[in-house]
Amino acid sequence: MTRIFGKPLISQQEINRRIKDLGRRISEDYQDRDVVMIGVLKGAFAFFADLVRAIQVPVELDFLVVSSYQGSSKSTGRVKVISDLTVDIKGQDVIVVEDIVDSGLTLSFLKKKLLMRHPNSLRVCALLDKPERRTINVPIEYVGFTVPNKYVVGYGLDYQNRYRNLPYIAVLDQDGEQE
DSSP letter string over 100-139? EESSSHHHHHHHHHHHTT--SEEEEEEEEE-GGG-SS---
Q: Which of 102, 129, 158, 175 is catalytic?
A: 102
> What average pLDDT score do residues 75-91 get?
84
pTM of the full structure: 0.89
Say if residue 140's pLDDT is above 90. yes
Does 102 qualify as catalytic in the annotation?
Answer: yes
Architecture (CATH level 2) of domain 8-172:
3-Layer(aba) Sandwich (3.40)
60 near 87, Cβ under 8 Å?
A: yes
Where do the domains of the chain lie? 8-172
What's the pLDDT at 110? 95
